[in-house]
């Protein structure tokens, strides 16, 4: 208990830093419940720009719900969300995506009828060919943009080792490949903030390590990443900063070493999962 | 015999428009709509009324009827979009019934069950059977134009978004697509095509009544799309041709069986068509033509 | 004012009859997650089964109702087995559309046998009872009581018997029920039998109320769907509430619009209601 108090004390951040240029995303006092279950209960934290921030916590801690709220899929009962210093609470998922926030889903929600390339291409932003009128009449810019998007899609397929299946429907792919598709299409939108919900769950260790390397490269290209994962060695390897969630709020945060050394965390989480 | 064939093909072309409109809404964008006859009737009635009461030229009336239906489609979309699939199925089915109810009872506008007669035909410079042939040619050309337009939409990034919506609207939203916006556009364009079909029907027969809401017609259109291949525009047209062949083929049943009265023959035909529908669904649930899949070539392999 | 009371009474009576097939629709939905639109034809099947029993065989109305329950239930199970069950793997919407075709098939079997003529059941004409100026037909009271009895019987079956509880378990969670050793297929058959049997009972009640022809089911099916959806798909208490509300709405609407529009009014009302409650009033799924 004492350890937790100390951590909580360390965690308090001055209100001016909620919108500081250091952090790309700031979440303050979010609440959300389903029936009687307080899935998210007063969560507050910031995500540092250009870094990988990990979120860990036991099953049912409210991590996915938190993502759903940040990404605009679930409405919080109260709380504030700042993206790039701008209050974005109440925006729809597609509006947030247009602002550069892209998320993946815990249970791969691939568009099974679409091919890998189509899954990627869908995520490109500002496509003139998505306008009804331009799709009907066609134009040079539509053709040019579509070609550029597809070149990008192929490039991604190459990076993720999916060239061989690029023209296959995603429903015919293996579970791990679906995870890669999910990651790839999130990248095609050139996000500034990437929310990843358990990117290596159910993925074999080799591929998992590879995804870890991809994430580091993506971070180095300037993308900020917030990643939920239960795999501690993965978190330890890639995260610059770790947030521990329990019962809908932030229990502790710090570097991976600090978190690992923290007794409260151990009893709240690591102890349970061991 | 020739005039029978011409009439048959004209109806076929009109029904092909219904199948194409439904394919955009349901086949491509995944929004089930059992109320298509409501849109069809709306297009027919509005074009008929505009040309009869305001005296505007027939072709203008046809376009106006289709546009009114498009607006109406967009409006229904906004009302229905929150509903889950199974609620949507029932509500859209009921929606067509409500339209029928109005067509039957709003006598001052629709002339009730007697229907609107003497709807003007377009001036084509010919009369009699020549008119029918020219009208058929026009209908076929309309189908070809709509088919080309629907193919463009399907193949464009616009169509890609619609197929994504069909698979999972939440993913489409997280890809930055305004789900409601795309659905409204889809129902508007689909409504336009259905309304166009209704208007062409009204000015061909010069008559429209609540009988356009015959439930069999909706079943034929779904059968056409399922048989041809959901999501495939060519399939929608092919399916229409096949369904028309089945439906007309059952006419000859009457010659095969004897001693039945007219009601029984009608019942037998409907029975056979219904059974055919169920058998097709069971044996070929994915239809004859699969949804087209675009194969892209790797730019690296090309160079 | 008297007129309003009269309409309230009529609305409750009509609503109770609507609730019977609405329960049928919802019990099938609860267990199979499928909208079976052939319920309209099975109302007609029930009406003609009742007609055959009552007029052709001379049985009293209560036995005609029992016959209608059994025959519609059996026809529902047989047609579900032949036409719809093979399609379940292709999704609820495929089945729903097929059930529209099935509806056409069943309705035309009835038409083939009985023709399009309008027929009436063999019941004595009785003068209305008048209470404080409110007219109530003895036949309508009989129909109302039968509807209530059918609903009470079904509720008791679902609440107090092992098989009823098993069926509700399947509706709540098919996988879990299967683990507990309940055969979901058997429960599905039973649900279809009971549901379509209810439709058959409604067919006779409607026939007693007016007359029989092959479109008897189609004429009311819009209100039945409205009741089922309004109460919440798959909810049995919901179907009762929905039936009563639709019955009342249709009757009361005659105060402001012509009678012919009443079913459209009922449906328009539910579309508005669904904007507020996208899952119906008592629906939870
Ligand atoms: N749509 C929903 N309806 C009802 N309850 C929900 C819903 N989504 C989440 N919950 C509940 O909210 C709580 C938090 O769920 P959440 O999915 O956010 O947990 P999580 O931290 O992501 O867990 P896991 O590590 O298992 O993925 C759980 O108790 C869950 O049952
Ligand atoms: Mg989760």
Q: Based on the structure, what is the number of domains in chain A?
A: 1
- Angle C39-51/C216-231 helices, nearest 10 degrees? 130
All structural domains of chain C, each given as residue ranges with its CATH number in brackets, are 2-276 (1.10.3470)
- Do C270 and C230 contact (CB within 8 A), yes or no? yes
For ligand 1, pick from A35, A38, A60 the residue to mutate: most ligand atoms within 8 Å of CB: A60
Task: Pick left, alpha or beta for residue B112 (phi over 0 → left; psi -120 to 50 → alpha; otherwise beta).
Answer: left
CB contact under 8 A, B160 and A169: no
DSSP string, C40-93: HHHHHHHHHHHHIIIIIS---HHHHHHHHHHHHHHHHHHHIIIIIGGGGGG-HH
B299 shares contact with chain A (CB less than 8 Å): yes
- Is the confidence at residue A274, as pLDDT, over 60? no
Judging by DSSP bridges, how do beta strands B207-208 and C129-131 pair with one another? unpaired
pLDDT at A104 over 80: yes
* Residue pointed to by tokens 């079909």: B197
Determine, yes or no, domain membership for A29. Answer: yes
Nearest in space to A112 (alpha carbons), one of B182, B192, B18, B163: B163
Ligand in closest contact with the CA of A58: 1
Residues with Cβ–ion distance below 5 A, ligand 2: A 64, 106
Atom of ligand 1 nearest to the CA of A62: 18
**Mean pLDDT over the full length of chain A:** 85
Q: What are phi and psi of A236, to 5 degrees?
A: -60, -35
List A224's β-bridge partners, or say none.
A193
In sequence order, the 6+-apart residues with CB closer than 8 A to the CB of C130 are: C136
10 Å Cβ neighbour count for A97? 26
Q: Tell whether ligand 1 has an atom less than 6 A from the beta carbon of residue A68.
A: no
User: Would you say A68 and A229 are in contact if contact means Cβ atoms under 8 Å apart?
Assistant: no
Those chains having 3 or more beta-carbon pairs within 8 angstroms of chain B are A, C
Q: Name the A residues in 149-168 with CB < 8 Å from any B CB.
A: 149-151, 154, 158, 163, 166-167
| pLDDT over threshold 90, residue A202 | no
Atom 19, ligand 1: residue with shortest CA distance? A60
C85 φψ region: left (φ > 0), alpha (ψ -120 to 50), beta (else)? alpha
In a domain, A136, yes or no: no
Among protein residues, the one whose CA lies closest to atom 16 of ligand 1: A62
A101 Cβ below 6 A of ligand 1: no
Determine contact, residues C238/C232, Cβ cutoff 8 Å.
yes
Structural domain that includes position B153: 2-213
Cα separation, A27 vs A267, whole angstroms? 25
Using the structure block, give the residue that is written with the tokens 């029975």: B271
pLDDT at B48: 96
pLDDT in tens, C6-35: 999 999 999 999 999 999 999 999 999 999
**Contact assignment for B104 to C264 by CB distance below 8 Å:** no
pLDDT at A18: 41
Cα–Cα distance, C72 to C10 (Å, whole number): 27
Whether A273 shows a pLDDT value over 70: the answer reads: no
User: Which residue lies with its CA nearest to atom 26 of ligand 1?
Assistant: A59
- Euclidean distance between CA atoms B147 and A188, whole angstroms: 32
- Within 10 angstroms of residue A37's Cβ, the number of other Cβ atoms is 13
Which of C100, C110, C258, C262 is best to mutate for the B interface (most B CBs within 10 A)? C100
Q: What average pLDDT score do residues A27-43 get?
A: 89
Interface test with chain C among B267, B275, B287, by most C beta carbons within 10 Å = B267
Q: What are the CA-CA distances from residue B22 to residues B28, B92, B220, C129 (Å)?
A: 9, 13, 12, 52
Which phi and psi angles does B282 have, rounded to 5°?
Answer: -75, -40
CA angle B83, B88, B89 (to 5 degrees): 160
pLDDT of residue B52: 94
Contact C105 B270 (CB under 8 A): yes
> Based on the structure, what is the number of domains in chain B?
1
Q: Which domain holds residue A229?
A: 4-106+192-205+225-273
Is ligand 1 within 6 A of the CB of residue A65? Answer: yes
Q: Closest ligand 1 atom, CA of A65?
A: 18
**Distance from C-alpha of B289 to C-alpha of B227, rounded to nearest angstrom:** 8
Closest alpha carbon within chain B to A102: B174
* Residue A180 half-sphere exposure toward CB, CA atoms < 13 A: 28
Q: Give the pLDDT means over successive 10-residue stretches in chain B (303 positions).
A: 91 97 96 92 96 93 96 85 77 85 89 92 86 95 97 94 93 92 95 97 94 88 92 96 91 80 90 92 89 86 67
Instruction: Supply the pLDDT for residue A268.
Output: 66
The residue whose C-alpha atom lies closest to atom 18 belonging to ligand 1 is: A62
For residue B158, the distance in angstroms to the closest alpha carbon of chain C comes to: 25
pLDDT greater than 70 at residue A8: no
Residues of A in contact with B173 (CB under 8 A): 72-73, 92-94, 97
Ligand 1 neighbourhood includes A211 CB (under 6 angstroms): no
**Burial class of residue B4 (count of CB atoms within 10 Å of its CB; 0-12, 13-18, 19+):** exposed
Identify the three-state secondary structure at position C95.
Answer: helix
Per-residue pLDDT of chain C (285 residues; tens, 9 = 90+): 788 889 999 999 999 999 999 999 999 999 999 999 999 999 999 999 999 999 999 999 999 999 999 999 999 999 999 999 999 988 888 899 899 999 999 999 999 999 999 998 888 878 888 888 888 888 899 999 999 999 999 999 998 998 888 888 888 887 888 888 888 888 999 999 999 999 999 999 999 998 999 999 998 988 898 899 888 888 999 999 999 999 998 888 888 888 888 777 777 777 777 777 777 777 664
Q: Which of C193, C200, C205 shows the shortest CA–CA distance to C123?
A: C205
pTM of the model: 0.88
Q: Identify whether the C-beta of residue B159 lies closer than 8 Å to the C-beta of residue A135.
A: yes
Phi then psi for A247, rounded to 5 degrees? 50, 40
Report the alpha-carbon distance of residue C18 to residue B221 in Å, rounded.
30
Compute the distance between CA of residue A138 and CA of residue B53 in angstroms, rounded to an integer: 38
ipTM, two decimals, is 0.89
Closest ligand to A38 CA? 1
Contact C102 B271 (CB under 8 A): no
Residues 6+ apart with CB under 8 A from C118: C211, C212, C213
Question: In this structure, what CATH number is given to the domain that contains residue A256?
Answer: 3.40.50.300
Q: Do B294 and A123 touch (CB under 8 A)?
A: no
| DSSP code of residue C127 | P
Q: Is residue B77 part of a domain?
A: yes
pLDDT at C255: 86
Indicate the Cα dihedral angle C74, C77, C81, C82, nearest 10°: 50
**Alpha helices (runs of H) in A129-255, residue ranges in sequence order:** 132-137, 140-159, 175-188, 205-220, 232-238
3-state secondary structure chain B: CHHHHHHHHHHHHHHHHHHHHHHHHHHHCCCCCCCHHHHHHHHHHHHHHHHHHCCCCHHHHHHHHHHHHHHHHHHHHHHHCCCCHHHHHHHHHHHHHHHHHHHHHCHHHHCHHHCEECCCCCCCCCCHHHHHHHHHHHHHHHHHHHHHHHHHHHHCHHHHHHHHHHHCHHHHHHCCCCHHHHHHHHHHHHHHHHHHHHHHHHHHHCEECHHHHCHHHHHHHHHHHHHHCCCCHHHHHHHHHHHHHHHHHHHHHHHHCCCCCHHHHHHHHHHHHHHHHHHHHHHCCCCCCCCCCCCCCCHHHHC
Please tell me if the CB atom of residue A73 comes closer than 6 angstroms to any atom of ligand 1. no
DSSP state, residue C128: P
Number of H helices, E strands in chain C: 11, 2
Q: Which two tokens stand for residue C69?
A: 């329950």
Return d(Cα B171, Cα A29) in angstroms, integer.
Answer: 27
* Cross-chain CB nearest to B101 (options C37, C225, C263): C263
> Which run of H or of E encompasses C189?
helix C184-209
CA of A67 to the centre of ligand 2 (A): 9
A272 lines ligand 1 (CB under 6 A): no
Cα–Cα distance, B84 to C223 (Å, whole number): 20
Between C138 and A263, residue with greater pLDDT: C138
User: Residue B94: its pLDDT value, please?
Assistant: 83
b/e burial code for range B17-39 (CB count within 10 A of at least 16 → b):
bbbbbbbbbbbbbbbbbbbbbbb
Reported as a single tens digit per residue, the pLDDT across C203-243 is 999 999 989 999 999 989 888 988 998 888 889 999 999 99
How many H-runs (helices) and E-runs (strands) does chain A carry? 12, 10
- Model confidence at A6: pLDDT above 60: no
From CA B26, how far away is CA C152, in angstroms rounded? Answer: 40
């Amino acid at each position: 208990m004492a350890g937790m108090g100390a951590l909580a004390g360390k965690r308090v951040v001055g209100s001016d830093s909620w919108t500081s240029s250091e952090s790309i995303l700031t979440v303050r006092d979010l609440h959300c419940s389903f029936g009687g279950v307080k899935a998210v209960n007063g969560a507050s934290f910031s995500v540092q720009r250009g870094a990988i921030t990990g979120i860990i916590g036991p099953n049912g801690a409210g991590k996915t719900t938190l993502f759903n709220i940040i990404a605009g899929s679930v409405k919080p009962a109260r709380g504030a969300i700042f993206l790039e210093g701008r209050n974005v609470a109440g925006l729809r998922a597609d509006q947030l995506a247009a602002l550069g926030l892209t998320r993946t889903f815990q249970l791969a929600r691939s568009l099974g009828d679409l091919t890998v390339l189509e899954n990627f291409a869908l995520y490109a932003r500002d496509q003139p060919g998505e306008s009804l009128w331009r799709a009907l009449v066609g134009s040079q810019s539509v053709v040019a943009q579509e070609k550029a998007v597809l070149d990008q899609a192929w490039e991604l397929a190459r990076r993720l080792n999916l060239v061989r299946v690029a023209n296959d429907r995603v429903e015919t792919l293996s579970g791990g490949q679906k995870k890669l598709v999910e990651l790839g299409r999130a990248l095609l939108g050139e996000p500034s903030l990437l929310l990843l919900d358990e990117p290596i769950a159910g993925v074999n260790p080799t591929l998992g390590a590879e995804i870890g390397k991809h994430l580091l490269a993506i971070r180095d290209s300037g993308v900020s990443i917030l990643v939920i994962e239960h795999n501690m060695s993965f978190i330890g390897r890639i995260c610059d900063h770790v947030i521990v969630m329990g019962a809908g709020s932030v229990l502790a945060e710090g570097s991976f070493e600090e978190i690992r050394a923290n007794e409260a965390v151990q009893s709240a989480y690591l102890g349970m999962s061991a | 015999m020739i005039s029978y064939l011409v009439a048959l093909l004209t109806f076929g072309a009109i029904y092909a428009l219904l199948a194409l409109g439904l394919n955009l809404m349901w086949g491509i964008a995944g929004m089930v709509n059992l109320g298509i006859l409501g849109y069809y009737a709306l297009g027919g009635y509005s074009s008929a009324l505009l040309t009869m009461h305001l005296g505007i030229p027939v072709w203008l009336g046809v376009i106006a009827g289709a546009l009114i239906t498009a607006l109406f489609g967009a409006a229904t979309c906004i009302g229905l979009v929150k509903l889950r699939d199974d609620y949507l199925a029932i509500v859209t089915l009921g929606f067509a019934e409500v339209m029928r109810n109005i067509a039957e009872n709003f006598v001052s506008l629709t002339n009730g069950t007697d229907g609107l007669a003497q709807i003007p035909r377009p001036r084509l410079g010919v009369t009699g059977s020549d008119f029918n042939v020219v009208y058929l040619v026009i209908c076929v050309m309309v189908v070809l134009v709509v088919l080309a337009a629907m193919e463009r939409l399907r193949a464009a990034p616009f169509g890609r978004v619609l197929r994504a919506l069909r698979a999972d609207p939440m993913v489409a939203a997280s890809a930055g697509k305004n789900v409601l916006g795309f659905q409204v556009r889809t129902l508007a364009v689909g409504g336009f095509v259905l309304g166009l079909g209704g208007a062409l029907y009204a000015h061909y027969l010069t008559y429209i009544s609540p009988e356009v809401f015959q439930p069999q017609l909706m079943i034929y259109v779904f059968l056409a799309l399922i048989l041809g291949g959901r999501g495939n525009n060519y399939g929608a047209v092919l399916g229409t041709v096949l369904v028309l062949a089945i439906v007309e083929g059952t006419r000859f049943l009457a010659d095969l069986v004897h001693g039945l009265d007219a009601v029984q023959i009608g019942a037998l035909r409907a029975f056979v068509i219904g059974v055919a529908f169920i058998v097709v669904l069971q044996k070929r649930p994915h239809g004859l033509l699969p949804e087209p899949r675009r194969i892209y070539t790797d730019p690296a392999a090309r160079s | 004012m008297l007129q309003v009371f009269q309409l309230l009474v009529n609305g409750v009576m009509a609503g109770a009859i609507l609730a019977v097939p609405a329960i049928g629709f919802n019990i099938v939905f609860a267990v199979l997650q499928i909208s079976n639109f052939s319920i309209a034809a099975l109302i007609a099947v029930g009406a003609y089964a009742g007609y055959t029993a009552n007029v052709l065989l001379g049985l009293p109305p209560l036995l005609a109702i029992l016959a209608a329950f059994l025959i519609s239930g059996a026809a529902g199970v047989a047609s579900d087995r032949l036409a719809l069950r093979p399609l379940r793997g292709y999704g609820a919407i495929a089945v729903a559309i097929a059930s529209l075709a099935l509806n056409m098939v069943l309705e035309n079997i009835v038409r083939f046998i009985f023709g399009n003529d309008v027929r009436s059941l063999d019941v004595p004409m009785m003068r209305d009872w008048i209470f404080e100026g409110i007219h109530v037909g003895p036949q309508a009271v009989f129909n109302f009581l039968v509807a209530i009895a059918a609903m009470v019987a079904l509720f008791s079956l679902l609440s107090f018997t092992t098989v009823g509880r098993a069926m509700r378990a399947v509706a709540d969670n098919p996988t879990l029920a299967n683990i507990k050793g309940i055969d979901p297929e058997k429960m599905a058959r039973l649900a279809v039998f009971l549901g379509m049997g209810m439709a058959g009972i409604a067919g006779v009640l409607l026939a007693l109320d007016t007359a029989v022809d092959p479109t008897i089911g189609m004429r009311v099916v819009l209100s039945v769907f409205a009741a089922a959806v309004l109460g919440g798909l798959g909810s049995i208490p919901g179907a009762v509430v929905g039936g009563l509300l639709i019955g009342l709405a249709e009757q009361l609407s005659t105060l402001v619009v012509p009678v012919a529009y009443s079913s459209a009014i009922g449906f328009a009302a539910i579309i508005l209601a669904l904007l507020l409650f996208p899952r119906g009033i008592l629906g939870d799924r």
